[in-house]
């Protein structure tokens, strides 16, 4: 039997992370994701989200806790996060945060990294930094060798771009790690700077 983490999609991660905030129905999930502009990370459609919710329930990561029949609105099923779901989303973020082979998965892991404790995130990002530096050195040295061989510059532009992106990400990561090492950046699942705004978002999405 497959480990749930191996079948978890990026959309599934976002749904599980939402349910860490509290029980909610899929309609509220869609509205929150769009309000928070998480659709810049991946395409969010009602059909995809509802399908994801069904899969998560089937694998025991979430559970149905009730159906809302308020007024003339369509029935809305409310879901809660199970212990297995809570463990799985954290395990997925931990697995993907240091990896460098999937930009989409890393961006979602980074967006959900606030669900981990500061020390955990710092250690994982330092692991990622080491991998990025290794890749940057390989690209830089490869470019130098290619130029020395007289390789036409026009066939090297993609490698030049990747080398520049790797260098820029290391600089950005160093800045983030410095902030995490200080007291200036509040961090952790229960330490948001603007909790009132998130509460207001939840209330608006429930309508």
CATH code of the domain in which 32 resides = 1.10.10.10
Residues of the domain holding 198: 4-111+190-205
**183 or 89, which is more confident:** 89
Mean pLDDT over all residues of the chain? 90
Write out pLDDT tens, residues 22-60: 999 999 999 999 998 998 999 899 999 999 999 999 999
91 and 161, same domain (yes or no): no
**187 or 126, which is more confident:** 126
40 and 102, same domain (yes or no): yes
Mean pLDDT of 1-10: 83
DSSP single-letter state for residue 105: H
90 and 13, same domain (yes or no): yes
Whole-angstrom distance, CA of residue 179 vs CA of residue 156: 35
Confidence label for 72 from pLDDT (cuts 50, 70 and 90): low
64 and 34, same domain (yes or no): yes
Check residue 82 and give its pLDDT: 96
Check residue 56 and give its pLDDT: 96
12 and 94, same domain (yes or no): yes
Whether 19 has a pLDDT exceeding 90, the answer reads yes
Neighbours of 120 (CB within 10 A): 16
The angle, 0 to 180 degrees and rounded to 10, between the axes of the packed helices 26-35 and 195-205 is 130
Whole-angstrom distance, CA of residue 67 vs CA of residue 31: 18
Whether 78 has a pLDDT exceeding 90, the answer reads yes
Confidence label for 4 from pLDDT (cuts 50, 70 and 90): confident
Whole-angstrom distance, CA of residue 19 vs CA of residue 92: 15
What percentage of the chain exceeds 90 in pLDDT? 71
Check residue 118 and give its pLDDT: 94
Mean pLDDT of 130-137: 97
58 and 40, same domain (yes or no): yes
Whole-angstrom distance, CA of residue 100 vs CA of residue 128: 7
71 and 144, same domain (yes or no): no
Mean pLDDT of 146-168: 96
DSSP single-letter state for residue 24: B
Check residue 52 and give its pLDDT: 96
133 and 107, same domain (yes or no): no
The tally of domains found in the chain comes to 2
pTM, rounded to two decimals: 0.86
Check residue 1 and give its pLDDT: 63
Whether 124 has a pLDDT exceeding 70, the answer reads yes
Whole-angstrom distance, CA of residue 13 vs CA of residue 61: 11
20 and 84, same domain (yes or no): yes
Check residue 192 and give its pLDDT: 63
103 and 30, same domain (yes or no): yes
Check residue 39 and give its pLDDT: 87
68 and 162, same domain (yes or no): no
36 and 107, same domain (yes or no): yes
């Amino acid at each position: 039997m497959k480990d749930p983490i191996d079948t978890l999609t990026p959309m599934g991660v976002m749904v599980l992370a939402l349910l860490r905030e509290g029980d909610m129905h899929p309609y509220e999930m869609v509205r929150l994701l769009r309000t928070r502009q998480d659709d810049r990370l991946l395409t969010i459609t009602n059909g995809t989200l509802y399908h994801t919710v069904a899969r998560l329930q089937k694998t025991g990561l979430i559970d149905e806790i009730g159906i809302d029949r308020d007024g003339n609105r369509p029935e809305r099923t409310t879901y809660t996060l199970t212990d297995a779901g809570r463990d799985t989303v954290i395990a997925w973020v931990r697995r993907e945060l240091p990896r460098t082979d999937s930009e989409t998965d890393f961006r979602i892991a980074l967006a959900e990294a606030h669900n981990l404790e500061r020390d955990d995130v710092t250690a994982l990002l330092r692991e990622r930094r080491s991998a990025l530096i290794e890749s940057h050195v390989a690209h830089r040295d490869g470019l130098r060798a290619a130029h020395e061989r007289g390789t036409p510059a026009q066939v090297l532009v993609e490698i030049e771009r990747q080398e520049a992106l790797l260098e820029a990400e290391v600089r950005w990561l160093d800045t983030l790690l410095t902030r995490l090492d200080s007291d200036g950046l509040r961090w952790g699942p229960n330490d948001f700077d603007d909790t009132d705004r998130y509460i207001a978002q939840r209330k608006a999405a429930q309508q």
